[in-house]
Amino acid sequence: MSHNTIAINQRMDRFDSHASVWLFGYGSLIYKADFPFLERRPAHITGWSRRFWQGSHDHRGTETAPGRVVTLVPEPGAVCHGMAYLVTPEEFAHLDHREKNGYLRLATEIGFEDGSSALGLVYIATHENAAFLGPASERAIARQIAEARGPSGPNSEYLLELAKALRELGKNDPHVFEIERHLVELAEH
Ligand code: BEZ
């Protein structure tokens, strides 16, 4: 699949006639939403794990020195905690453009802290997209993140903000916190 996913995402139109749609955020959306929303709630989805396996050459890195950002990988029984936003369907055109580097819209069940749930959308970059980097050790990922920066800022800022936001939500993510530990260690030496 080519880098640019805008046209593919526009074909995923099942929520276009809805007045509002829940969007599940598991990366920068947890700590920053640069679009209008009707409501925001801590939430989770099941069967997916957050991983720093997606390359970023347009936000947190460059073509020659890509950064690493999160995507979700399927894992039976796993729970991924994040933040859900209730938005109007028009917001997806903006997000499709911002996340055009390999992320596809996927319909998913989103669970809330009060035990209720709703069908909504999440953006996922699968192993089939051209910017996918795949697994590496947490230390190797931290080394790459420490070196990368792009138009949206240093890759380290993205990782540190995400770790802080998860901590504020009271959620543990061993993959993210282990990369954070290595990153802090690298900065000290
Ligand atoms: C997020 O921050 O959850 C996110 C948004 C768009 C694409 C990938 C992740």
Return the ligand 1 atom nearest residue 125 CA. 8
**Whether residue 99 has its Cβ less than 6 Å from ligand 1:** yes
Determine the Cα–Cα distance for residues 8 and 2; give it in Å rounded to an integer.
10
- Check residue 9 and give its pLDDT: 57
**Whether residue 53 has its Cβ less than 6 Å from ligand 1:** no
Q: Among 83, 76, 169, which Cα is nearest to 122's?
A: 83
pLDDT tens-digit readout, 13-71: 666 677 899 999 999 999 999 899 999 999 999 999 999 999 999 999 999 999 999 99
- Check residue 96 and give its pLDDT: 82
Q: Which of 39, 91, 99, 161 is catalytic?
A: 99
CA-proximal residue: ligand 1, atom 1 (nearest): 27
- Check residue 11 and give its pLDDT: 62
Region of poorest pLDDT, from 18-32, 66-80, 91-105, 129-143: 91-105
Q: Is 99 a catalytic residue?
A: yes
- Check residue 189 and give its pLDDT: 80
